[in-house]
Structure 1
Amino acid sequence: MNGDREVSRGGRTTAEGPEDAAGQPAPEESAGGGRMPSVPPNAAAARDVVTRLLESRFCGLGGEVPADVVVADALLVTSELVTNAFRHGGGLTGFSAEITDEGLLLTVADASTRAPVTAERDPASAPVGGYGWLLVRRLTKRVSVTDLPGGKHIVALVALV
């Protein structure tokens, strides 16, 4: 990959990152948190879904809970993926969040077949914005983009340790 496009057309291709990600279409039911609600209307609602999922999984367990910075990273990744679906992807068409043995697994689907793009630029001279995909790639353990008929989905794994 040359850094301009993170995925190629015609199937699943992994974005640059520390590991390859395995991604399936957004499930209607998740093993970690039961049936997901309908597609969130905005990023704040998606963050609420993730917050409730994390609280239900970790509150009252008496075991290890994710550090505040880990939760903040999970919510930032959620917000960036959902916001980008609305802003650049023709609208959010699917959303799921589940906790697996590896961490928080987010699946975000949108109506665009256009792949996320990372452009390297100087923050001092560049306009505001354009860093969301870079943040997602930096804060996730794995991320993949899969083309679907009429859109794509992005699967991101956020480690919770």
Structure 2
Amino acid sequence: MTGTPLRMPDLRCEDARQVARDVLSAHGVGERLAADVLLVVSELVSNAVRHAGGVTGFHVRHLRDCVAVDVSDATSACPRAPGTPAEVPGGFGWQLVNRIAARTEIRCGLAGKTITALIPLPAAT
């Protein structure tokens, strides 16, 4: 994890957002992109806490062309797919993550899953 080490079972959205802010600030990321990244962090961490027993891993990385947010939890159950009918409760946060991120990846294993959201950096002008 980049930033202050946190005990994963105790990770709260506000702690995760602060770690993300620290990473983004260190790389001079603008306000608009930072707001998008913080929203993705909030959604993925709150979903892990609410639906998957908590966060088992968290990492924010500033890469050449994007910011990557990785959130791991202890269940291999996938988030509700975008396109879930509106009358079915929930799933809106996952849809939001997929609108903000250029790409999302879900890697499942025996110990759970990791979701990576790749949020593109703005094109240089």
Find the aligned partners of 1:144 and 1:78 in 2 and give their Cα distance.
15
Q: For CA contacts below 8 A with separation 6 or more, give which structure has more relative contact order.
A: 1
Q: 2:86 aligns with which of 111, 121, 128?
A: 121
- Computed over aligned residues only, the root mean square deviation of the Cα atoms, in angstroms, reads 1.9
1:22 paired residue number: none
Calculate the TM-score normalised by the size of structure 1.
0.67
Percent identical residues: 36
CA shift at 1:120, angstroms?
Answer: 2.5
In the aligned structure 2, how far is the partner of 1:120 from the partner of 1:137?
16
Larger radius of gyration: 1
**Structure with greater helix percent:** 2
Q: Of 30, 49, 54, which aligns to 2:24?
A: 54
Distance 2:70 2:59 in 1: 5
CA–CA distance in structure 2, aligned partners of residues 77 and 99 of structure 1: 14
Q: Which residue of 1 aligns with 2:94?
A: 133
Aligned AA for 2:5? P
> Given residue 44 of structure 1, which amino acid in structure 2 is its aligned partner?
E
Alpha-carbon distance between aligned partners in 2 of 1:71 and 1:130, rounded to the nearest angstrom? 23
TM-score (norm 2): 0.84
Where does structure 2 lack aligned partners over 5 or more consecutive residues?
none
Q: For residues 84-111 of structure 1, give each alpha carbon's deviation from its aligned partner in whole angstroms, at most 9, with x where no partner exists.
A: 0001112110001110002111111001
What is the Cα deviation at residue 151 of structure 1? 0.6
Match of 2:111 in 1: 150
Aligned residues: 118
Does the 8 A contact of 1:36 with 1:97 survive in 2?
no
- State the 1:37 CA deviation: 1.8
Pairing 1:37–2:1 present:
no
The runs of at least 4 consecutive aligned structure 1 residues that moved more than 6 Å come to none
Q: State the Cα distance separating 1:73 from its structure 2 match.
A: 0.8
